Amino acid sequence: MALCATMSVHVVYTQKAGIAMVRSVNRWLGAALMVIALGVALAILPGAAHAASTGKAATGLVAAQAAESELTVGEADVQNVTVKARARVQDAGWKPWVASGKTAGTTTSKGLRTIRLKLENLGSLGGSINYRVYDMGKGWRPAVANGKSAGNKARAIQRFRIWLSGDVSSHYDVLYRGYTKGKGWQAWIKNKAIASAKSGYFSAIQVKLSPKSRIAAGTQATAPGVRYEARMKRTGWLAWTGDGKTSGKARKNQTMDGFVLSLESAGIQGGVQYRAYVQGKKWSQGWKAGGKVVGASGKRIEALQFKLTGEIANSYDIYYRSYVYGYGWLDWTCNGSTTGSTGLSLPIAAVQVKLVAKGTAVSGIGAETTVNAKRNTLNGIDISSWQSGINIAKVSADFVIVKATGGVSYTNPYFRSMADSTLSDGKLLGLYHFAREYGVKNSATSEADHFVNAAIPYIGKAVLVLDWEASALNLGPTWAKKFLDRVYKRTGVRPLIYMSKNPTREYNWSAVANAGYKLWVAQYASMGSTGYQSNPWTDSYGFGAWDKPTIFQYSSNGRISGFGGALDLNVFYGKTSDWQALAAKQK
């Protein structure tokens, strides 16, 4: 069985690597079968033992060793590939060949006229490096490859593109950038993307290979793994890395605007998918399969999600975490959960991804997998049918509290769609009931039942609230506590109560507060428009039976991105985990 496992690994990696060695593997298998057959013969015909051991058996072992040696050489060939570049410069002629990543040309005002590129140390690996240039005033010249000249000694190069073909392209990306006098080096681009000097011209280029397969990177891994690379807003594509290493730049003023990942499954059926929360686009790009780029040039990636599909998802988890400046590395998360932030306009600067066999302990696991979860306060809105046209996915908010019901007969016709949109966009959800809707006198129990019946699909997912204002104020705390107790009894979720600040002191709410029902309070410094506030004004008086509010509503004329009208704005004093605890069943 050990031989089968080892044999399987070699076949997978040579095939995925694009090394054409099927005949060698067949010779290896043939030799192994020959050894087995001879072993049987030795058992049956003892007289043939000496001849077999000195003849065909020895030949079979040599063949097997030769095949294994040939596989090893193939892997070495993949790992040793390099690129070199040479440039002809205005008034200076041809410059010497330079190694991968070095400058071909000059960083002066002299124009780049002709380039040559070549791959070295290909060994048994096939493939070419192809390139094409755009001459100033003449347009695109035909593509050439493998050391041939592209350009014209009389005209400067204004644009160029480079790409790999053949087996080498399965293992490497080609990265390149150009230099223009006065503007410096452009961002790194790759794989046939056009480098353009716009109205100017290039005076130098840099070209390098980035190993995108683990075999090209020199990783002799037998288990499944991942390879990935980040594109940074300022500097372009970085080199491929993988298996838990950092892609990106974990420091200040760094913004990732593109990301790609590939899965090496080691023969296990399945794939990987991922998606990005992008500035101005949110999750709209949808899930992408391995090898596809997510993000948008010049737009920050603010969050990422990854998941495995197919058989490999039964054996492995995909873990990942991101670096956000000001918050550092977030906790590891896995299997479709979010890393980064949503609705906070904070860019991811770096990311790490790895596969972990199910049941394996992973260090660094915690609740603070997003900036939203790590922050000590959250921003949010509350809405009702008055905001029926709102697109919650476009609104910047950590949480949304939706009016569900009122009295014993009113149900917000939009509350289900609003609640579902909130959850699907990854925002925290709250639901509230307006007591004594239309001033109709109902029992606390009947109104609580009406609310719970409507909220059943969201129990355990949403914070529940009693809205205590208008005609309900005259009922006093006894009615309110009956409502709260009834909701708690039926759902196991301990609801909050909402009211303006004055009633907290005008009534004795001790029984409510002592029963663990927390306060959502409203007080406005003015009726003027405002955005989110982390420390809103409140008067110097207390909050009655409560030491402090859990949620503070400080404006009914809030203006935030994603919605053209006025909104109620709120701050929640706690983390995402605190909100989730309030929404969870407690009995």
**What's the rounded Cα separation, in Å, for the pair 516 and 513?**
5
Q: What's the CA dihedral at 369, 373, 375, 378 to 10 degrees?
A: 150
Instruction: Give the span between the Cα atoms of 104 and 183, in whole angstroms.
Output: 17
Asked if residues 170 and 18 have their Cβ atoms less than 8 Å apart, the reply is yes
Supply 461's token pair. Answer: 């997912």
Residue 186, CA distances (Å) to 42, 85, 117 in order: 70, 18, 19
> Domain-by-domain residue ranges, the chain?
2-79, 82-211, 225-373, 375-583
> What is the architecture of the domain spanning 375-583?
Alpha-Beta Barrel (3.20)
Average pLDDT of the segment spanning 452-456: 98
The pLDDT tens digits for 323-380 are 999 899 999 999 999 999 987 889 999 999 999 999 999 998 988 999 988 888 999 9
Sheet strands (E) in 481-527: 496-500, 519-522
Share of residues in the chain with pLDDT > 90 (%): 74
Task: Kindly give the pairing relationship between strand 519-522 and strand 496-500.
Answer: parallel
Q: Compute the distance between CA of residue 185 and CA of residue 205 in angstroms, rounded to an integer.
A: 9
Strand pairing report for 399-406 and 333-334: unpaired
pLDDT in tens, 111-144: 999 999 999 999 888 999 999 999 998 999 999 9
Checking if the pLDDT of 304 tops 60, the result is: yes
Q: Checking phi first, is residue 198 left (phi over 0); if not, alpha (psi -120 to 50) or beta? A: left
DSSP string of 562-583? T-SS-EEEEEESS-HHHHHHHH
Strand ranges for 136-255 from DSSP E: 139-140, 144-145, 150-151, 157-165, 172-180, 184-185, 189-190, 195-196, 204-211, 225-232, 236-237, 241-242, 247-248
- CA 379 to each of CA 5, 72, 400, 478, 520: distance values in angstroms, whole numbers, following the listed order: 53, 57, 9, 31, 14
Residue 74: predicted pLDDT: 53
Q: What percent of the chain has pLDDT over 70?
A: 87
- Name residue, tokens 């969050």: 303
